[in-house]
Structure 1
Amino acid sequence: MATKTLLILSILLAFSLFRSSEACGISTYWGQNLYEGTLLLACQSGLYKYINVAFLIDFGCGVTPRMNLAGHCDPPSGTCRRLVTEIQACQDLGIKVLLSLGGSAGNYSLCSTDDAYQVAAYLYDTFLSGTSSTGPLGAVALDGIDFDIEYPGTTKYWDDLARALASYSTPAKKVYLSAAPQCPIPDRNLDTAIKTGLFDYVWVQFYNNPGCDYRSGVSGLIAAWNQWSAYLPEGNQLFLGLPAAPGAGAGYAPPDVIANQVLPVIRSSKNYGGVMLWSRFYDTSFSKIIQPAVCSNTLHHENLLISMV
């Protein structure tokens, strides 16, 4: 050893690496207005990273499953099977396409854990496996299932449905799960399901609820976001769900306010995922205005430890 004290510099860099622009984006719902254009055009717009095809409105408790795509096509007659090529084109563009369950109308509920697993088997075989040519969308392999559970016959067993669907994930193909709870915590229908931690994306509806939407101002909206950010299980991405036009929902916030005052604040949340807009029909300009602000290219360094021994 040298006569001088050997100085050992140990630098441990433990970075929580930033989520790049590739890991965040805009989600929207398509399928509830004939005048919103085709699914393919929505994907080709370059605005969205996630599209929820809405809705499967009847299912569970022995009810015959039924889709409603608001005149885009007629599921019972098989005319919606032409969508398989559009869905595949969207997926080729890197867009995740999910089937949305529920919505604000329909006859849907779950009667038991067994019923939840039976519904999951139907969803996998019909919409996720790519093998059911007789399903309403043809032999489609969607990326996952979205839970927009607003007015079900029961608030129970949605956690069982999430577990059952997640069990179909394989190393070759993951089944993505998303949820669209209301912004008051806890959500009446999906709280137990969300607590499983199985949802990859949680696009909270920060509208139609005066205590946690823009009607309480920018500060109120950000405060509601922070509550959800702290509440959400680790590993789930949180999205700011917004109406894309004044007529799309109460608590509408102008896109320039979202881009300049809200997104720069909430982007620093460790579970930030992006923005969800209701819906493609209403989104005539909102996403174009906010898109540059949705994702941050800033690298966040956390837990930098430099020790001298």
Structure 2
Amino acid sequence: MASLKQALMLFFPLLAFSSTVSSNSEDAGIAVYWGQNMEEGVKEGTLQETCQSGSYKYVTLASLTVFGCNRTPSWDFDSHCSGWDCLTELAPEVEFCQNQDILVFLSIGGMDDYSLCSPEDAKEVANFLWQVFLSGQQIPDHGQGLALNGIVFDIEGKRSNLYYDNLVTELNAFRTQKQFYLTAATGCTIPDYLLDKAIKTGYFDFISVKLYENSTCQFDGSANNLLNSWDIWTRYVPSNAKVFLGIITNPSDNGYIPPEILISILQYLKLSPNYAGINEWNRYSDVQSNPSYSDQVLPYVSKNVLRYVTEKSWL
């Protein structure tokens, strides 16, 4: 396996790729977090502009940052909107994205104030997520809820790992009423302390592994640690789940992968049958370069490109 990795790293940067391959293949794509870049929020563009760019297959609203244990749930979409008005303001933009065949998710968690206190608490949070962000139903005193395509569990920090398996199970029960997707955004350590029990339920459709800001798995001029971690994760997750490579698009952050290097790395990742694409943090840093990071790598994300390459017998 190591020799195959070395061969890919050696040959693929020199390869000329077909310009006829579609970047909109159903088998893989680019996901991006939107709405969470501190005071620079307006500079990442609106949600509609993000979807209009043609770069993404998935856009994740970041984030529901307060929930559980009798807390009043609240979300932070930075300077784009605030409070319950967000539902009204974002609804037409979400619909626009969905009409472009882009799936819109909500991330829950991050580094703020949340935890779950019991199975009953997990059920209450699941009911809230269903009613406000997934079902599109009327919310008493607040108007129409959103009808998003899924929830991303981005559980971070030094906190309790209890009852997230209950939460994903409760959310899964709502899929008898409407199809939506569930994603776990994990660190690179196996098992992931916070989400391992939830992952083992088998209810997650996607696992997004953050292979950055951790010296044991990030790109550091060499891709060896990253590729080894990718191999372990793609074998570890339940067989029904597809795996995203979680990356950062800010060159000053630890674990940043230059686009030309990522293009080479992708050729190895796409050998995994459960490869789903890349998941970028975040939209703001993505568009600071011209062309954007996404636009530079997009033609090479699809698995179709790998089929073109293997036909050329480079391996």
**TM-score > 0.5, shorter chain as reference:** yes
Residue 201 (structure 1) shift: 1.1
Where does residue 147 of structure 2 map in the other structure?
Answer: 141
Where does residue 26 of structure 1 map in the other structure?
Answer: 30
1:256 aligns to 2:257 (yes or no): no
Q: Structure 2 counterpart of 1:255, which letter?
A: P
- What is the rounded CA distance, in whole Å, between the counterparts of 2:137 and 2:236 in structure 1? 38
- What is the rounded CA distance, in whole Å, between the counterparts of 1:254 and 1:280 in structure 2? 16
1:180 aligns to 2:185 (yes or no): yes
> What are the Cα deviations for residues 115-170 of structure 1, in whole angstroms up to 9, with x where unaligned?
11111011101111101356879431111111000036411111110010010002
- What is the rounded CA distance, in whole Å, between the counterparts of 2:135 and 2:66 in structure 1? 20
Where does residue 242 of structure 2 map in the other structure?
Answer: 237
Q: Structure 2 counterpart of 1:295, which letter?
A: S
Where does residue 221 of structure 1 map in the other structure?
Answer: 226
Where does residue 86 of structure 1 map in the other structure?
Answer: 93
Contact residue 107 and residue 153 of structure 1 kept, 8 A: no
Q: Which structure has the greater CA radius of gyration?
A: 1
Contact residue 182 and residue 204 of structure 2 kept, 8 A: yes
3-state SS, counterpart of residue 94 of structure 1: coil
3-state SS, counterpart of residue 246 of structure 1: coil
Q: 1:134 to 1:251 in 2, by over 3 A?
A: farther
- What is the rounded CA distance, in whole Å, between the counterparts of 1:226 and 1:79 in structure 2? 40
1:208 aligns to 2:213 (yes or no): yes
Q: 1:40 to 1:224 in 2, by over 3 A?
A: same
Where does residue 17 of structure 2 map in the other structure?
Answer: none
- Gaps in structure 1 of 5+ consecutive residues: 1-19, 301-309
Aligned counterpart for 2:300 among listed residues 293, 300, 304: 293
Larger helix proportion, structure 1 or 2?
A: 2
Q: Which moved more, 1:134-143 or 1:228-237?
A: 134-143
Contact residue 184 and residue 209 of structure 1 kept, 8 A: no
The size of the alignment, in residue pairs, is: 276
Structure 1 runs of 4+ aligned residues shifted over 2 Å read 132-139
Contact residue 147 and residue 179 of structure 1 kept, 8 A: yes
Q: Structure 2 counterpart of 1:126, which letter?
A: V
Tell me the TM-score normalised to structure 1 length: 0.85
Q: 1:280 to 1:135 in 2, by over 3 A?
A: farther
Contact residue 182 and residue 205 of structure 1 kept, 8 A: yes
Q: Structure 1 counterpart of 2:178, which letter?
A: K
Q: Structure 1 counterpart of 2:285, which letter?
A: Y
Where does residue 98 of structure 1 map in the other structure?
Answer: 105
Contact residue 107 and residue 152 of structure 1 kept, 8 A: no
- What is the rounded CA distance, in whole Å, between the counterparts of 1:102 and 1:46 in structure 2? 27
- What is the rounded CA distance, in whole Å, between the counterparts of 2:250 and 2:277 in structure 1? 18
- What is the rounded CA distance, in whole Å, between the counterparts of 1:136 and 1:216 in structure 2? 50
> What are the Cα deviations for residues 206-235 of structure 1, in whole angstroms up to 9, with x where unaligned?
001110010271122111100101111101
3-state SS, counterpart of residue 202 of structure 1: strand
Where does residue 44 of structure 2 map in the other structure?
Answer: 36
Residue 203 (structure 1) shift: 1.0
Q: Structure 2 counterpart of 1:184, which letter?
A: T
Residue 177 (structure 1) shift: 0.3
Where does residue 276 of structure 1 map in the other structure?
Answer: 279
- What is the rounded CA distance, in whole Å, between the counterparts of 1:176 and 1:215 in structure 2? 32
> What are the Cα deviations for residues 233-280 of structure 1, in whole angstroms up to 9, with x where unaligned?
101000101001213x31111011010x21011101011000011000
- What is the rounded CA distance, in whole Å, between the counterparts of 1:206 and 1:43 in structure 2? 25
Where does residue 306 of structure 1 map in the other structure?
Answer: none
Tell me the TM-score normalised to structure 2 length: 0.83
- What is the rounded CA distance, in whole Å, between the counterparts of 2:143 and 2:152 in structure 1? 16
> What are the Cα deviations for residues 153-200 of structure 1, in whole angstroms up to 9, with x where unaligned?
411111110010010002x62121011100111112111111111111
Where does residue 193 of structure 1 map in the other structure?
Answer: 198
Where does residue 58 of structure 1 map in the other structure?
Answer: 66
Q: 1:135 to 1:222 in 2, by over 3 A?
A: farther
1:72 aligns to 2:77 (yes or no): no
RMSD of Structure 2 on Structure 1 (CA): 1.9
